[in-house]
Amino acid sequence: MSIESIKLLARRVIEEIWNERHLERFDELFAPNFVNHNPAPGTSGDLAGLKQSAHNFFAAFPDAHLSIDEVIAEGDRVVLRTTGRGTHQGTFLGTPPTGRSFAAQAYTVLRITEGQVIERWNITDVLSMLHQLGIAFPPQS
């Protein structure tokens, strides 16, 4: 695949799945043997785990949106710098909705082969997100 086609596929992942909520596109854009190297707490590192993570995130932040700030590609990898925004309207990490909003940056590396994402590494500024939402972590009982 060309660098431009790899960038386009990465943009499709953000726009079509995360922003437009076309969750059926997971099966088109991700390989069946996909590996997520940084799965969300309580989810597996495979495609089923990523789908569950997306479902959980959208339940907690139904208005969430990712802005693509930068896309860099080389070889079979693409790096995305994104800013996520949303309002806490459902349970997140065991914490009931606060009604507060967040804006947090994330860096994601996708390895793409044969037109599908085969691996994912992600680092999100969750600490900043939790602070903006007024959530103590771990949740206090």
pLDDT bracket for residue 90 (50, 70, 90): very high
Assess if residue 14 is contained within a domain: yes
Q: pLDDT of 113-141, one tens digit each?
A: 999 999 999 999 999 999 999 987 655 55
Residue 3 Cα distances to 6, 9, 106, 110, angstroms = 5, 10, 21, 13
Number of domains the chain contains: 1
Cα separation, 13 vs 139, whole angstroms: 31
Assess if residue 46 is contained within a domain: yes
Assess if residue 58 is contained within a domain: yes
Assess if residue 138 is contained within a domain: no
Q: pLDDT of 21-78, one tens digit each?
A: 999 999 999 999 999 999 998 999 999 999 999 999 999 999 999 999 999 999 999 9
Assess if residue 94 is contained within a domain: yes
Contact in structure between 84 and 64 (CB atoms under 8 Å):
yes
Domain with 121 in it: what CATH number? Answer: 3.10.450.50
Assess if residue 24 is contained within a domain: yes
Domain that holds residue 26: 3-133
Assess if residue 10 is contained within a domain: yes
Model pTM greater than 0.85?
yes
